[in-house]
Structure 1
Amino acid sequence: MLNLYHLDSFLMLHETGSFTTAAARLGLGQSTVTQHIQRLEKLLGRRLVTRDTHQVRLTAEGEALLGYARGMLDLNGKVTALFGESRLRGKLRLGVSEDVVASRLTAILEDFIRLHPLVDLELTVALSAVLYQMQDIGDLDLVLAKRHIGETHGRLLYREPLVWLARDPEIILSRSQALPLIAFPPPSITRRVAQEALDREKMAWRIVCTCGSLSGLTAAARAGMGVLVQPRSMAPEGLKEIPADRLPVLDDVEFVLVARRGADAALVDALSSLIAKRIGPQPVSG
């Protein structure tokens, strides 16, 4: 019989691509996660994962198990919520900044829905500053977004550097005209940080692409239109980080959870705890 704890480790390993990171997010020892995978493989008589110096990947048999594992854990969560002593129910309105959604939110939402199927979860995706405005007027209960260094609102999740990115940094930097910027529209935090850094160094710049979607900005950057600023762990594939000595140093950015005063504390705590456990800079190796 398949063990649900083993399947949970299997799914987390698939999500993170790292035994170390999977163990940390599950609150287990790395050896425990390794044992869970080994026992699954022994029970099924198939190899489920392959590991190289960079990342852990699923085999074809592991990919086949993935959907069934999710389904079993989802059913377990629904039964537990239905018959458990503490059954969370109600509506929770979550706001998440665009770049977080693009990189790491799917698994968190899947887990919350599985664990709390009686909660009506509503998701809004927008710029961080816009989400804070919506929360101020009572339209959002919990916000996962960025804040400037020095600001104190919210529960700090982690801090990381912003970096300059381009498809061909040398070509972009060799141009004599103003630095072409690809950016979210105002009041974007990353846009403001980039512009202020360039202004401090008296470097000319111009906006060549404005888009509220990270996928749109990434497409423009991959086409070679200009320079994009993003947190280092969220750098899109196909773009290279510009060396620190070529452009002004950017301020770090902090990711925080902000709960609305008066929101349902039990619902907010349930989702906040899950996010705090699971979110953080993406691993670069496993």
Structure 2
Amino acid sequence: MIEGNQTLDLELLRTFQVVAQTGSLAATAEVRHRTLSAISMQMKRLETELDVRLLERNSRGVSLTPSGDVLLREARELLRVHDTLVSRFSGERLSGRVRLGIPEDYARELLDDTLPQFMARYPGILLDVTTDTSGRLARALRQRKLDLAVVLDHATGLEGGETLWHPTPVWAGPVQGALHREAIVPLAVHPEECPYRHLATGALDSVQRPWRAIFTSTSIHAVEKAIETGMAIGVLDRERVTTAMRPLDESDGMPPIRRCVARLHFAQAIEVGSQPAVEALAQLLRERLHGRGPWQRDALSERDIGNKKGRPGQGGTKDRD
């Protein structure tokens, strides 16, 4: 227990933050470049110093206790303030401009925490963020309109890239009704160059099922609403399936969906003065998204999880610690 003038090691909080993000001590060890035993010891030390249990082990890794949830919120704010202060007064001040592209489907989650954290840590960097379909982001990257982009690996035409996480695309339909059994499947999709659109139409074409895109929008929220209200079905990341929807699979007569990968790509040419800033953002994205993507373990309640048919957890890897 911390008493008197004792202080809490911020590195323990940084490690705890990564554990909360990845849900795995093993994945945290990889991100933090430490051994698994070192990460485990850090977490035990943090629990000892605070005299509270922060983590629960389960078959998929670790999850936060209620006290862990509280600490995570406070730790994020403390580290943000600390990093802003250090960056403002330290001799090594990064500057330059970073043009980042992210898929619209994941913008909300990245804007909740990761990007504000980067801006707080490096106030001297000008950050420009563009959201779009992965195909359009890939084209902007090739045209050097972006320095860095997170894209899904279908319909992009990009080679290489660093694997960040494996999304879990699923068919999603409204809770009520049987749109998925109609002779011509009604789809709610993004425009062309969207990987999830290609996954949906490709799966239906592979089994020769007719389909029609009756609702097309660049907004993921509009697509979700079209599904929730019973206009159409679509392909979403499993994490986006709300309680007003239900996942559909082969037992519902829907064809299997190919897996995809979210990768980090750099532009072929980046301004020399901005290269350190671009790499700083890339490193933060690696730390925050590796293995599990932008989803927070505490984003959904156990009730919501239970309402999602066949949900195997919160997506991504299933490391055991």
Please indicate, yes or no, whether the TM-score normalized by the shorter chain is above 0.5.
yes
1:2 CA displacement: 0.4
1:223 CA displacement: 3.5
Q: In 2, distance between residues paired with 1:28 and 1:244?
A: 43
* 1:6-21 matches, cutoff 5 A: 6-21=12-27
Q: Summarize deviations over 1:3-35 as a string: whole Å, max 9, x none.
A: 001111222233334434433333333443333
1:240 CA displacement: 1.5
Q: In 2, distance between residues paired with 1:273 and 1:187?
A: 27
Aligned to 1:112: 118
1:101 CA displacement: 2.3
Aligned to 2:104: 98
**Percentage identity across paired residues of the two chains:** 25
Aligned to 1:236: 241
Aligned to 2:270: 262
Q: Does the CA contact (< 8 Å) of 1:102 and 1:214 recur in 2?
A: no
1:219 CA displacement: 2.9
1:182 CA displacement: 1.5
- How does the TM-score come out when normalised to structure 2? 0.73
Aligned to 1:147: 153
Give the length in aligned residue pairs: 283
- Aligned AA (1:58): T
1:246 aligns with 2:253: yes
Aligned to 1:28: 34
Q: In 2, distance between residues paired with 1:56 and 1:259?
A: 33
SS of 1:148's equivalent in the other structure is coil
SS of 1:124's equivalent in the other structure is strand
Q: Does the CA contact (< 8 Å) of 1:149 and 1:251 recur in 2?
A: no
**Aligned Cα root-mean-square deviation (Å):** 3.3
SS of 1:125's equivalent in the other structure is strand
* 1:190-205 matches, cutoff 5 A: 190-205=196-211
- How does the TM-score come out when normalised to structure 1? 0.80
List gaps (5 residues or longer) in structure 1. none
Q: Does the CA contact (< 8 Å) of 1:148 and 1:253 recur in 2?
A: yes
Aligned to 1:124: 130
Q: Summarize deviations over 1:13-59 as a string: whole Å, max 9, x none.
A: 33334434433333333443333233223223333344555651232
- Aligned AA (1:4): L
- Aligned AA (1:247): M
- Aligned AA (1:262): I
Aligned to 1:278: 288
1:58 aligns with 2:68: no
Aligned to 1:4: 10
Match of 2:212 among 206, 211, 216: 206
Q: Does the CA contact (< 8 Å) of 1:73 and 1:114 recur in 2?
A: no
Q: In 2, distance between residues paired with 1:35 and 1:119?
A: 35
Match of 1:171 among 168, 178, 193: 178
